[in-house]
Structure 1
Amino acid sequence: MKASNPIILVLFYSRHGATRKLAELIAQGIESVPGIDARIRTVPAVSTVAEAVEPDVPAKGAPYVERSDLDECAGLALGSPTRFGNMAASVKYFLDGTATEWLSGSLTGKPAVVFTSTGSLHGGQESTLLSMMIPLLHHGMLVMGLPYSHPELMTTESGGGPYGASHWAGLDNNRPISEDEKKLAVALGRRLAETVARLEGVR
């Protein structure tokens, strides 16, 4: 990895691991484009107990996102599990705290994609993806999805759609990511990276 390479931030929250796996596949797609690097970060969980606090460093997995990650990124992939057809509270809480970035316009003009995982097949994948797009549009980001030139959009029997990558994890969160879901997640990361490469003049 060169220090000068444009960085795409892959930012997610995952409770049972399915959204994290999608994040890793999207990062794989990003890094398949020469000259573009992926930076995987997560957000802390939000507790219903006011006194509860997360440790400064996660016990395992990706580090917590910092404000500098937003400033330094040339693009963003944002992921969350579905909560009643919406993004998880942890992701919403983080986005609610990005007024400084909104005022400075630090994300304006940067490409972005979204991804999600659901426990049930019709548990709100599309509405969750759309809910995550809204704050990104307010930030002036260039929100993208997946075109139907990807044949997996017509063959998938679980996750994956034109709004972004998705996965049907099952009620016990133990369904493996299908081949179609994998291909679409990698393709989404690659499409984001190719767009960043064009905008940044990477050759």
Structure 2
Amino acid sequence: MKMLIIYYSMFGHIRTMAEAAAAAALEIPGVEVALRRVPETLNEAILTKMGALDAAKAQADVPVATVDELAEADAIFFGTPTRFGNMTGQMRQFLDGTGGLWAQGTLVGKPGGVFTSSATQHGGQESTILSFHTFLLHQGMVVVGLPYTFQGQMRLDEVTGCSPYGASTIAGGDGSRLPSENELEGVRFQARHLAKIGLKLKQN
């Protein structure tokens, strides 16, 4: 079962989550994982002004995704930061190129999930994931969230991301907060859950 983890990460938080998800999915026997990033749409001058150039260069080792890879995957896990309660423009531009897959019904029946990050605790994590789900539904995919069997989303002893819609992390206003162990365990749990569903669907 081929699982594709495709993400956009400006400052590295979502990449950290994506790498944790990839490692967790590989724990499931019979699962192959490909880690990909969507193309950057901002030039180096803008990334420099935003303080994101170093993080962008650090991801050069991750191959850039192609639309064809979506077609080849049996399960797809999408990661995107929040931008005003929605996905990033980079992710949106990539998804806007999947019209051919929609026309052919290529993604119908494939399981898909979403994970995200935001600067603040109430910065639009849930709306980002829920609005991303509309893409999955238009493509006929099976939406896979983060079940409450992941007890980490019930915690009250610390500030943390994660909801039944999907795993998430809080980056802080200056981006200095890294994903917590609880948040990483959330995305690992969701990745394993998605991989198991992908295996079951492929076997049928």
Out of 17, 26, 32, the residue aligned to residue 31 of structure 1 is 26
Out of 170, 173, 178, the residue aligned to residue 172 of structure 2 is 170
Aligned equivalents of 2:135 and 2:178: distance in 1? 30
Once the two structures are TM-superposed, the CA of residue 46 in structure 1 deviates from its matched residue by 2.0
The residue aligned with 1:151 is 151
1:156-189 CA distance string (max 9 Å, x none):
6221110001000111212121121111110000
SS of the residue 1:173 aligns to: coil
1:118-160 CA distance string (max 9 Å, x none):
1111110000111111111100000111111221110162211
Once the two structures are TM-superposed, the CA of residue 201 in structure 1 deviates from its matched residue by 2.3
The residue aligned with 1:126 is 126
Percent identity, aligned pairs only, is 40
Aligned equivalents of 1:89 and 1:131: distance in 2? 13
> Which protein is richer in helix relative to its size?
2
SS of the residue 2:82 aligns to: strand
The residue aligned with 2:47 is none
Q: Aligned ranges for residues 40-55 of structure 1 at < 5 Å? A: 40-47=35-42
> What is the one-letter code of the residue matched to 1:170?
G
Once the two structures are TM-superposed, the CA of residue 48 in structure 1 deviates from its matched residue by 8.2
SS of the residue 2:174 aligns to: coil
Unaligned runs of 5+ in 2: 45-57
Once the two structures are TM-superposed, the CA of residue 40 in structure 1 deviates from its matched residue by 0.6
The residue aligned with 1:53 is none
SS of the residue 1:135 aligns to: helix
Aligned equivalents of 1:27 and 1:59: distance in 2? 15
The residue aligned with 1:72 is 72
| TM-score scaled by length of structure 1 | 0.88
Determine whether 1:12 maps to 2:7: yes
1:114 and 1:129 in contact (8 A); partners too: yes
Q: 1:170 to 1:191 in 2, by over 3 A?
A: same
Unaligned runs of 5+ in 1: 1-5, 50-57
The residue aligned with 1:190 is 192
1:13 and 1:42 in contact (8 A); partners too: yes
Deviation above 4 Å: which 4+ runs of structure 1? none
Q: 1:86 to 1:48 in 2, by over 3 A?
A: farther
1:81 and 1:116 in contact (8 A); partners too: yes
Across the aligned residues of Structure 1 and Structure 2, the Cα RMSD in angstroms comes to 1.9
